[in-house]
Amino acid sequence: MKLISSNKDNSNYCIIFKLNILEDINMFFDWNEGDKIIKHFLDFFNQNKVLYKHEGSKFFLIEKKENMDSFIMKIKKEIYKLDLFKIYNLENSFKILYIKDSFSADYNSLFKQIKIIEEEIPSKRGIQIYDLNNNVYAVYYKKNIIKNLLLKNDISGLYAVFQPKFNLDDNSVIGAESLCRWYIKDFGNLSPVDFISIAEKIGKIDIIDFKIIEETFIFINYLLKNNYSLSKKLFSFNVSLCSLEKVDFIKRLNSLIKKYEIPTNLLEIEITETVLAIPNNSIINKLIALDHSGITISIDDFTMGNSSLRLLNLFPIKTIKLDKSILDLIESNYILGEIIYKNLINLFRDLNLNILSEGIETKNQLTFLINNNVKSGQGFIFSKPLLKDDFLKLFKVG
C-alpha cells in the first residue's frame, strides 16, 4: 500500500472532495456530463499534483500545510465558477475535508477514519469545509464505537450509580436517583452526555433504561434481604419517552418487579418535560396504571415550559424535581432567581405537589431553599453519585 507521506514529512495534508452533485448529474443526465466535471478538476489540479479517485464521487490529493488556506480558497472559487446549480438545477452540494496525514500510515486507514467522521456530518447545500484534526477524529471515533456497541445491544459495561436524596431539615437520606455510567475500555468511564443522545438517535435508549432499572431492583433487593431500613424511602430511575412508547413497557417492568420482589411503594419513575409536551393517551394511561400500582411518578429536570404547565393536570404526577438551571440563578442573579423559584414553589404547593430541588451545590442555595420551606433535595453539597458500596454506608441496618 502506497504511503501518504513516504518522506515522513508531517506538514502534508490529505484533502478529500466529496462531490455529491456528481452522483445526481450521472443519474439524471448522463455519465458524459459527470466526466466533464471530473475533467475540469483534473485540469485545475494539473500543476505538480495528482488527483486520486477513491470511490463513487470521492477524490483526494496531497497538499503542503503552508498552502492550505489559499488552496482551499482556490477550490471554492473553482466550484463556484462551474455554477452547477444554474446549469443542472440540482442541489449544489460539496464536501471538502482535509486532514493532517501524520496520524495515518496508508490510504485505507485514512479513509476508514474519514468515513467515521463523514457519517456524522449531514450533507447540506453549498460548500462544506471541515478541518479533521486529531481531536475531531477522536470525538467521532468515540461516537462510532458507542453507536456500534448499542446497535449490537452490547452494553455490558453499563452500570448504575446512586445519587442520594436528602431531607433538607435534618440531612437524612430519603432515597436515591439511579443514574447511568458506561465503562468502555478505550475511553474509561463515560457519563450520559457521551452516549444518551446517540442511543436516542438510533432508537436504543430503551435497552439503557431497562439495564439501569434492573440494576436498581437488584440493589433494592439486596438492601431488603440484608435488613437495611427503607421506610419512607424512594428509589427513582429515569424512563425515556421511547421506552414509555413501547407496547410491552409495563409488562417488562412488572416482570422485573416480580423477579426481584420489589414493593412498588419504594419506586419512583422520573419522566422528563418531553413526555408532558406530547399528550399521548397511551402514555398517560400507562402512567396512571403505574400510579395505581403504587409507583410514584415525578417530573425530572423541570424548567419553566409553558406546555409542561398546561398539560400537568393530565398526568398522575406526585413530585416535581426543579432543574438545576433555575437554582443556579440564585448565584448569578439572586433577585431574578428568587422571584422565579418562589413563584414555582408556591404554584406547585397550590397544586399539592411535592418539590425536590436538584443540583444544590452551595451553602447560599441550600439556605435559600430551607428559608423557603423546600423539604428535599440532592446535589454535590451533600453527595455526588455513588457506587453501591459507598451508598450502603449512608444506610442503617435494622
What would the pLDDT profile of 245-282 be if each residue is shown by its tens digit? 999 999 999 999 999 999 999 999 999 888 887 778 99
C-alpha to C-alpha distance for 103 and 113, rounded to whole angstroms: 10
Nearest alpha-carbon partner for 5 in 65, 14, 97: 14
For residue 97, what pLDDT is reported? 67
Nearest alpha-carbon partner for 267 in 243, 250, 283: 250
- DSSP assigned state of 51: P
Whether residue 184 has pLDDT greater than 90: yes
Percent of the chain with pLDDT over 90: 52
C-alpha to C-alpha distance for 209 and 157, rounded to whole angstroms: 14
For residue 4, what pLDDT is reported? 36
Nearest alpha-carbon partner for 235 in 290, 161, 314: 161
For residue 358, what pLDDT is reported? 96
- The mean-pLDDT minimum among 62-76, 84-98, 148-162, 328-342 falls in 84-98
Reported confidence tier of residue 194, pLDDT bands at 50, 70, 90: very high
For residue 394, what pLDDT is reported? 87
Whether residue 147 has pLDDT greater than 70: yes
For residue 33, what pLDDT is reported? 78
Mean pLDDT, the chain, integer: 83
For residue 218, what pLDDT is reported? 98
* DSSP SS3 for 340: helix
More confident residue, 52 or 155: 155
What are the start-end ranges of the E strands in the chain? Answer: 12-19, 52-55, 58-64, 93-100, 126-131, 158-167, 173-184, 188-190, 234-238, 267-271, 296-302, 319-322, 354-357, 376-377
For residue 189, what pLDDT is reported? 96
More confident residue, 214 or 121: 214
Whether residue 153 has pLDDT greater than 50: yes
For residue 234, what pLDDT is reported? 96
Antiparallel, parallel or unpaired: β 319-322 and 234-238: unpaired
C-alpha to C-alpha distance for 63 and 50, rounded to whole angstroms: 10
For residue 207, what pLDDT is reported? 97
- DSSP assigned state of 155: -
Whether residue 307 has pLDDT greater than 70: no
For residue 286, what pLDDT is reported? 96
pLDDT tens track for 345-393: 999 999 999 999 999 999 999 999 999 999 999 999 999 999 999 999 8
For residue 176, what pLDDT is reported? 97
- DSSP state letters, 247-269: TTHHHHHHHHHHHTT--GGGEEE
For residue 104, what pLDDT is reported? 47
Q: Is pTM beyond 0.85 here?
A: no
Phi–psi pair at 158, nearest 5 degrees:
-75, 135
Nearest alpha-carbon partner for 105 in 236, 2, 218, 234: 2
More confident residue, 222 or 313: 222
| Mean pLDDT, rounded, for 221-230 | 94
Highest mean pLDDT among 93-97, 134-138, 141-145 belongs to 141-145
* DSSP SS3 for 302: strand
For residue 165, what pLDDT is reported? 97
C-alpha to C-alpha distance for 122 and 139, rounded to whole angstroms: 16
For residue 203, what pLDDT is reported? 94
C-alpha to C-alpha distance for 54 and 77, rounded to whole angstroms: 23
pLDDT tens track for 122-139: 666 666 666 666 556 677
For residue 109, what pLDDT is reported? 64
For residue 163, what pLDDT is reported? 97
Percent of the chain with pLDDT over 70: 72
C-alpha to C-alpha distance for 214 and 37, rounded to whole angstroms: 58
